[in-house]
Structures are given as C-alpha cells and as structure tokens.
Amino acid sequence: MRGIFALFLTISLYGAESFITKEEYASGLYHNPRGIGCHLCHGEGGEGKLIARYRDKGEMKTFAGAPINKITFRDFYDKVNSQIVGMPRYYLTDTEIQTLYYYLHREEFKRAAQKPRKAQ
C-alpha cells in the first residue's frame, strides 16, 4: 500500500510541474487578470483599442485603451502600478507583471532564444 501511495505521489508531483505552459498562463492572465481582461481595452496583441465614442458639450470624443505592446518593460511596469483614469487597479505581483509583458512580447523572446550565441 505504501508503495502505491509513493508511486502516486511521485507521478502527481511530476504531473503538476507540467500542468500549464508559460504561454497558457500568460494568456490566461492577459485575458482575466482580476476580472476585466487587458484585451478588452488594449486589444488581443496590446495594440490599443477604441472603447467608446461619445459627445461631450457638442464635441465628439473617444475613449480608448492605449497601445502597450511597444513600450519598454520599465514603462509597462510603471503604468500597471499607476492610477490611470479609466484603468482598473489590479494589484499584480512583480511576477504577474513580468508574465503579462512576456505575453505581449513572446514572439520576440522566442526569436531571441533561438539566435545562436556569439563565441567569446
């Protein structure tokens, strides 16, 4: 009986390690960080998105989510941790912010990882 339990524990711990990929976690976080997904205002790829057009004192105005896929990590980090009008506060951890940035730049990270290193 102990042997079966030990085998089950070993298999379950091994399986837990590969439960979800980094891409799946990043996509889930981007689409539902704490209720309202980033994609609803910033678009699927962070390119920015028109949210509404409205009239204010006779003048047509727009409300849009800013593009976030071309900014540096430092700017991204600062903006996520700022109080920006119209943007919900998510209170994300540093790891979650890094994961969101990875999601927006994952193709760049993959290309960089595939480049051969220069000999020194």
pLDDT in tens, 36-65: 899 999 999 999 999 999 999 999 999 999
pLDDT of residue 11: 53
As a whole number, the mean pLDDT across the chain is: 85
In this structure, are residues 99 and 29 in contact, taking their beta carbons and an 8 Å threshold?
Answer: yes
50, β-bridge pairs = 64
pLDDT of residue 8: 52
Listing DSSP states for 27-48 in one string gives HHHHH-SSSS-THHHH-TTSS-
Instruction: Kindly state the average pLDDT of the residues 80-100.
Output: 91
CA distance 31 to 73: 19
